[in-house]
Homo-oligomer: A and B are copies of this chain.
Amino acid sequence: MTSTERGEAQPLRPTKQRTAVVEALAAFDDFRSAQEIHELIGRAGSNVGLATVYRTLQKLSEVGEVDMLRTEDGEAIYRRCSATHHHHLVCRSCGATVEVEGPTVERWTRSIASEHGYADISHTLEIFGTCPACR
C-alpha cells in the first residue's frame, strides 16, 4: 500500500484568493452559502471571482477544512470545522451551530449496517432544533 493512494490531497497552493476565502470563513460560526461568502469577501475589500469561491470551498471541503451540507431546498452551505469526525446541531431559526459527537451513533450505525450485510460504512447526521437564545 503506497502512501499516495489515499488521496493525500497535496497542499493547495496558497494564493490571495484562497487566503481571502479562509479569512471569510473565520468570520462566522454558522453555515453560509457560497454566494454569501463571496459577498462577505467583497465587503471585506478583497475581490475574488464567484467561480473561484465555489472552487475553493469545494476543495476545502474535500480536504476536510470545511463542512458542507445542503439546505432543505438543495443549496450547499459551508462552515469551517474541526478535523475530527462530528455532526451538527443546528438552530432552525438563527442557524447557530454546535459540533457534536459521540460513540453511540457511530456504534449504532455500524451495527445496523453490518446486521444487513453492508460494508464500508459512512453516514450523515444533522440535528435541528431551536437554540436557547431563540426560544
Contacts and interface: CB of A to CB of B under 8 A. Distances in A.
A9 to B, nearest CB: 18
B124 A129 contact: no
A124 B123 contact: no
B128 A125 contact: no
A123 to B, nearest CB: 4
Interface in A35-68: none
Contact of A98 (B76, B100, B116, B130): B116
A59 B46 CA distance: 44
Contact of A108 (B91, B92, B104, B122): B104
A127 B112 contact: yes
B132 A127 contact: no
Contacts of A98: 116, 118
A26 interface: no
Interface in A59-81: 70, 74-76
Contacts of A117: 131-132
Given A70-B70, A118-B91, A127 B104 contact: no
